[in-house]
Amino acid sequence: MKQYSRAQLALRNGQDREEIWCAYQGIIYDVTTSRLWRNGHHYEHWAGQDLTKELGDAPHSDQVFNRFRVIGKLVG
Protein backbone atom coordinates (compact mmCIF):
# COMPACT_ATOMS: atom_id res chain seq x y z
CA MET A 1 0.00 0.00 0.00
CA LYS A 2 1.39 3.40 -0.95
CA GLN A 3 2.32 5.65 1.96
CA TYR A 4 1.60 9.37 2.31
CA SER A 5 2.70 11.96 4.86
CA ARG A 6 0.34 14.36 6.63
CA ALA A 7 1.69 17.12 4.37
CA GLN A 8 0.77 15.13 1.25
CA LEU A 9 -2.68 14.40 2.66
CA ALA A 10 -3.18 18.10 3.43
CA LEU A 11 -2.76 18.95 -0.28
CA ARG A 12 -5.87 16.88 -1.10
CA ASN A 13 -8.22 19.20 0.77
CA GLY A 14 -10.52 20.07 -2.12
CA GLN A 15 -8.98 23.51 -2.46
CA ASP A 16 -5.43 22.99 -3.73
CA ARG A 17 -6.16 20.04 -6.01
CA GLU A 18 -9.24 18.29 -7.35
CA GLU A 19 -8.74 15.25 -5.13
CA ILE A 20 -10.54 15.24 -1.80
CA TRP A 21 -8.96 12.83 0.67
CA CYS A 22 -9.28 12.20 4.37
CA ALA A 23 -7.76 9.66 6.71
CA TYR A 24 -9.29 7.43 9.34
CA GLN A 25 -7.31 5.08 11.58
CA GLY A 26 -4.20 5.37 9.42
CA ILE A 27 -5.94 4.71 6.08
CA ILE A 28 -6.47 7.44 3.48
CA TYR A 29 -9.75 7.46 1.57
CA ASP A 30 -10.73 9.29 -1.61
CA VAL A 31 -14.03 11.07 -0.89
CA THR A 32 -13.96 13.14 -4.11
CA THR A 33 -17.11 11.51 -5.49
CA SER A 34 -19.20 12.24 -2.41
CA ARG A 35 -21.60 15.14 -2.82
CA LEU A 36 -21.29 15.66 0.94
CA TRP A 37 -17.60 16.55 0.61
CA ARG A 38 -17.91 19.22 -2.08
CA ASN A 39 -15.43 22.08 -1.66
CA GLY A 40 -13.44 19.98 0.81
CA HIS A 41 -15.66 20.19 3.83
CA HIS A 42 -18.46 18.14 5.33
CA TYR A 43 -20.37 19.92 8.08
CA GLU A 44 -17.64 21.03 10.53
CA HIS A 45 -15.03 18.57 9.18
CA TRP A 46 -12.35 19.46 6.65
CA ALA A 47 -10.70 17.21 4.08
CA GLY A 48 -6.97 16.78 3.86
CA GLN A 49 -6.62 15.64 7.45
CA ASP A 50 -6.97 12.70 9.80
CA LEU A 51 -10.57 12.45 11.02
CA THR A 52 -10.02 9.60 13.49
CA LYS A 53 -10.60 11.70 16.62
CA GLU A 54 -13.53 13.56 15.06
CA LEU A 55 -15.61 10.52 14.11
CA GLY A 56 -17.00 10.24 17.62
CA ASP A 57 -19.02 13.41 16.93
CA ALA A 58 -20.48 12.06 13.68
CA PRO A 59 -24.02 10.68 13.41
CA HIS A 60 -22.67 7.63 11.54
CA SER A 61 -20.19 4.84 12.20
CA ASP A 62 -16.83 4.20 10.60
CA GLN A 63 -18.63 1.91 8.13
CA VAL A 64 -19.20 5.01 6.02
CA PHE A 65 -15.60 4.68 4.79
CA ASN A 66 -16.46 1.38 3.11
CA ARG A 67 -18.06 3.44 0.33
CA PHE A 68 -14.78 5.05 -0.67
CA ARG A 69 -11.65 3.94 -2.46
CA VAL A 70 -8.58 3.39 -0.32
CA ILE A 71 -5.67 5.56 -1.49
CA GLY A 72 -2.95 4.46 0.88
CA LYS A 73 -1.57 4.58 4.37
CA LEU A 74 -0.97 7.69 6.47
CA VAL A 75 2.53 7.75 7.95
CA GLY A 76 4.22 10.12 10.33
* Residues 4 and 10 sit within 8 Å (Cβ to Cβ): no
32: domain CATH number is 3.10.120.10
pLDDT digits (tens, 9 = 90+) for 28-41: 999 999 888 788 87
Q: How many structural domains is the chain composed of?
A: 1
Please give the model's pTM, rounded to 2 decimal places: 0.87
* CA gap 39, 5 in Å, rounded: 22
Report the share of the chain in percent with pLDDT over 70. Answer: 91
Range of the domain at 58: 3-75
